[in-house]
Amino acid sequence: MFDLQVIGTQIVEELSSLIDKNVLVTDKNGFVIASTDPVRLNTFHEGASISMRDQKELHMTKEMCERLKGVRPGIVMPIIISQMPIGVIGVTGKPSEVEKYAKLVKRVVELFVTDFLSRQEKERGIRESEFFFFDLIMGNISKEILKDRAKLIQLNISIYQRIAIIQTHRKFEISDVEHFLRIQTIHPDTKIIRWGLERLVLLLPQVSKKQLCDGLQRLTNRIEKLTKRKTFVGIGKVTSFYELSDSFRQAETAVSVSIKQNRLVFEEDLKLELLYYSIPPEVQEEYISRTIAPLLTEKELLHSLEVWIQSTGSLKEVADELHIHKNTLTYRLAKVESVLKVNLHDSNDFAVIYTAIRLLRKK
């Protein structure tokens, strides 16, 4: 049952900005829950009680004001939503003067309440989707229960095939999610779920890769415009609905790469990165310790080595890129070999050092 107390004050403020009259709202029992006149708060309005009981508009005449408790001249009208009276709105003043406002007041209040209920329903749907998705990804419940819950929230599980994660660096409200759902162009049935404090998870129907890329780019552009921060996107592989937890974990790997490479990343396109991001952090640290640790304090040598490793050009071209002489580069590479006890022209040693650099930078 809707509680008018939640938005009573908002209704009064809205009406007082439209008409130059005192306005009040009462609950179903006739007690004033909002008013432009603070003195009337929590008082009993007998006229409103009668209006509520009879479900009709009443003009509070001088005679009625003398006879009924807590009444002043004016008009009271029941607020009826979906054929159900939920409270009473009152406008103070001579009934003959106030009457011209009656239809406007009643219409504004009913629109206000209807809009509020609609937003509540949308928020409830988003929250239910979030709870459902959490259980789907965490594997907390059986397929049978998931299927039944999907029907309750009217989710067509047959159309959803992959997960995308947007790293946003900001916690969003439900109203933000509603906005993103309205403006996204990926697919009309795309679902957007808040995940943690700084992520949005997209539950995606089948669309082409190009359509997905274009839609994600447009959506992230709007998010970045709102947050003034860069977003990062990772997309998992296409899979069956009940295996979407796998696509979610793939999207987590992909968004980690996206943060490092500053681009939209499909997990299915990862190669060496797939290997690097699957290695436990403690193993990565141990590998770096055993290979290039002596260079971590030699920033100049380390940088020169990285540029040389990543370049496909000649020594002179690499030296030009570093703004040093070719002989200086040769000296630095020789020193790297001496410090690390490797031969950079040996394919095995090169592979070891290359892997260590990639693990260090995760690029």
Question: Each residue of 225-271: pLDDT tens digit?
Answer: 999 999 999 999 999 999 999 999 999 999 988 998 889 999 999 88
Q: Decide if pLDDT at 150 tops 70.
A: yes
* In contact, 251 and 244? CB cutoff 8 Å: no
Instruction: Name which CATH class applies to 4-118.
Output: alpha beta
Two structure tokens written together for 222: 């709007």
Q: Which helix (H) or strand (E) holds 87?
A: strand 84-92
* In contact, 236 and 265? CB cutoff 8 Å: no
Could you give the percent of the chain with pLDDT greater than 70? 99
Q: Cβ contacts of residue 137 below 8 Å, gap of 6+?
A: 244, 245, 248
Q: How far apart are CA 128 and CA 65, in angstroms?
A: 49
Q: State the pLDDT at residue 42.
A: 93
Q: Decide if pLDDT at 87 tops 70.
A: yes
Query: In which order are the strands placed within the sheet that holds 84-92?
Result: 32-35, 23-26, 84-92, 74-81, 58-60
Could you give the percent of the chain with pLDDT greater than 90? 59
What's the start-to-end Cα distance of the chain, in Å? 55
Q: Decide if pLDDT at 1 tops 70.
A: no
Mean pLDDT of 355-362: 86
Q: Cβ contacts of residue 247 below 8 Å, gap of 6+?
A: 161, 162, 163, 236, 237, 238, 239
Mean pLDDT of 192-215: 93
Mean pLDDT of 77-94: 87
pTM for the model: 0.64
Span(s) in the chain for CATH 3.30.450.40: 4-118
Mean pLDDT of 284-313: 92
60-98: buried (b, 16+ CB within 10 Å) or exposed (e) per residue?
beeebeeebebbbbbbbbbbebeeeebbbbbbbbebeeb
Fold of 156-276: Alpha-Beta Plaits (3.30.70)
Q: How far apart are CA 238 and CA 241, in angstroms?
A: 9
With bands split at pLDDT 50, 70 and 90, how would you rate the model's confidence at 164? very high
Q: State the pLDDT at residue 311.
A: 86
Range in 40-54, 103-117, 147-161, 282-296 with the lowest mean pLDDT: 103-117
With bands split at pLDDT 50, 70 and 90, how would you rate the model's confidence at 120? confident
What is the CATH code for 281-361? 1.10.10.2840
Q: State the pLDDT at residue 2.
A: 63
**Coil/strand/helix, residue 242:** helix
Mean pLDDT of 276-298: 90
Mean pLDDT of 199-218: 95
Q: Decide if pLDDT at 180 tops 60.
A: yes
**Coil/strand/helix, residue 80:** strand
Two structure tokens written together for 113: 């309440």
Query: In which order are the strands placed within the sheet that holds 199-205?
Result: 191-195, 199-205, 160-167, 232-235, 265-266
Question: Each residue of 30-40: pLDDT tens digit?
Answer: 999 999 999 99
What does pLDDT average to over the chain? 90
Range in 85-94, 99-108, 300-309, 312-321 with the lowest mean pLDDT: 99-108
Rg of the chain over all Cα atoms, to the nearest angstrom: 33
Q: How far apart are CA 338 and CA 217, in angstroms?
A: 47
With bands split at pLDDT 50, 70 and 90, how would you rate the model's confidence at 100? confident
Please indicate whether residue 117 or residue 241 has the higher confidence score (pLDDT). 241
**Coil/strand/helix, residue 82:** coil
